[in-house]
A and B are shown apart, each in its own frame.
Chain A
């Protein structure tokens, strides 16, 4: 287990370094000679911005490393805060979304999967598997837009005002958490259902039933303890999905969090003059990358530890 942990950390280090090397790729020298004609200026600009030079690349890397080494910081942002302060401020806000939606999708998803399994023999139960399939196939951004429009429209018919945009109020957080956890919840639900279904025909179930164990106890005690492993192995996928979707949700709900400011720090202007630099806010981007990959790494380590505990306990379950 310790070995696996070390391997995960080494892998994390490798991936982060690769990503940072991509970010630090040189973005060219934007200077143009204003004495030249417009056409020549454009030509020179385009060429100097798209030609790759190893020297620039080396300079880029060495300057940021030496700066970080000497100042123990990556500098200040355009709002004159230190980069670390700003990153932490936004990450804190985003963690308020990431952690609850992660927990909600795991717990509610599990319950939903068990529910789907329990009602699968009923002829008509719209709350059962059909809902799960619905939420898995319909893109969640459609639901997101739909809910937003519905709330805005309904508020003119007397629905109390619900703040949908921003990050200050509790309702902003709640709405964003719901948006973020829709898809992962049903993903886990389908996983749990499939895992339960797989075991339904196994012999130990028949044994348990012949000994007079109630259905509820069979499902919760015996079958679920065999499901944990497959659910835990998908926690990483869930986290990746939440982080991906965080960009969409934060942008649509104007929630100023880590994904939003990462997006802003990374984007280049869509209108630019010749001579303007194409640079991004490298320091911010670097730290956000480290934070995001660290979140994924922590998820992986937690799921590795959980798997280890499960495997150790093995067949010695008290039941």
Chain B
């Protein structure tokens, strides 16, 4: 850990993020209510209408309803963390057993290869777009859960394949033969000889995947696909509904990006900065963990 700057920065970032998610909303400069403002009087008496540009009071400016963007970002942190972590967790809960069992069983291996071949024809965004516009999902109360499941499962094949390759690589090392000769059962070999080697690699990939998922969710935000929405009744003669975004997750700031970029670039920009920091932070953390274990192994 001594010279591992990446690991230090990564862990520092992780601590910062967790603090931001849990303590952040109670900081003095955070507007917990996210108060909307219709108008603001500048010091020279000029009237301003939202979105307000960045200033001493609004560090990153405000959104179209006059809500402080810094507060929005901080309040949204927890949601972002929960969504991204649950996507990656579900993905690994499915992928690790799949990858390991495809090392032991030929049928699982066939399934995995088939899955990967199928997915090698379709871009991820494509699948998400196809499924997300189904009326079943638009109306479902559990739309967010479905979204998370879809995002998690689209890349299960890739992760399982990586795990399979790593398992195969470990299995070719001489100490596995020693383990077999000394009379371990397959389960014991898995537990005592495979897991200690696999664990660091899975940890690295897990961290890097967090960064990838955030990246993907940001991309989806840019094409107006969000994790959560709510149907709100409209006050019209004939009954009508509108999909409303109630979430404060960061990608929601991209909602009008193509339009905002001319008049209020700080709105999509602050979302992009937050996402970028998140992506880079976990990327650095992943590389730090990798360096940590590689060094440790080379000293043996």
Contacts and interface: CB of A to CB of B under 8 A. Distances in A.
Given A15-B118, A145-B272, A137 B262 contact: no
Nearest to A239: B123
Interface string A159-173: 000000000000000
B120 A240 contact: yes
Given A137-B280, A252-B258, A280-B133, A142 B272 contact: yes
Contact of B223 (A27, A50, A247, A271): A247
Nearest to A149: B265
Interface string A26-48: 01100000000010011000100
Nearest to B233: A42
Contacts of B273: 142
Given A46-B139, A266-B133, A14 B242 contact: no
A275 interface: yes
A249 to B, nearest CB: 9
A130 interface: no
Given A28-B135, A138-B280, A251-B258, A19 B241 contact: no
A82 interface: no
A11 B261 contact: no
Chain A residues touching B, majority SS: helix
Contacts of A42: 239
Interface in B276-295: 276, 279-280, 283-284
A144 to B, nearest CB: 9
Given A142-B275, A271-B240, A273-B238, A148 B261 contact: yes
- Name the interface size band of chain A: 35 or more
Contact of B238 (A14, A266, A274): A274
Contact of B283 (A18, A137, A270): A137
A107 interface: no
Contacts of B125: 244, 247
A236 B241 CA distance: 42
Contacts of A292: 123, 126
Interface residues of B, number: 48
Contacts of A240: 120, 122-124
Contacts of B139: 46, 49-50
A263 B136 contact: no
A245 interface: yes
Interface in B168-207: none
A77 interface: no
A311 B122 CA distance: 27
Contacts of B262: 152
A141 interface: yes
Contacts of A204: none
Contacts of A272: 240-241
Contacts of A23: 130
A273 B236 contact: yes
A252 B296 CA distance: 45
B2 to A, nearest CB: 21
Nearest to B215: A139
Contacts of B275: 139, 142
A142 B277 CA distance: 11
Given A27-B135, A50-B136, A19 B238 contact: no
Interface of A: 11-12, 14-16, 18-19, 22-23, 25, 27-28, 38, 41-42, 46, 49-50, 52, 137-139, 141-142, 145-146, 148-149, 152, 236, 240-241, 243-245, 247-248, 251-252, 254, 263, 266-268, 270-275, 278, 280, 292-293, 296-297, 300
Interface of B: 117-118, 120-126, 129-131, 133-136, 138-140, 211, 215, 218-219, 222-223, 234, 236, 238-243, 257-258, 261-262, 265, 268-269, 272-273, 275-276, 279-280, 283-284
For the complex of A and B, list the 3 residue pairs with the smallest distance between their C-beta atoms, beginning with the closest.
Answer: A244-B123, A273-B240, A137-B283
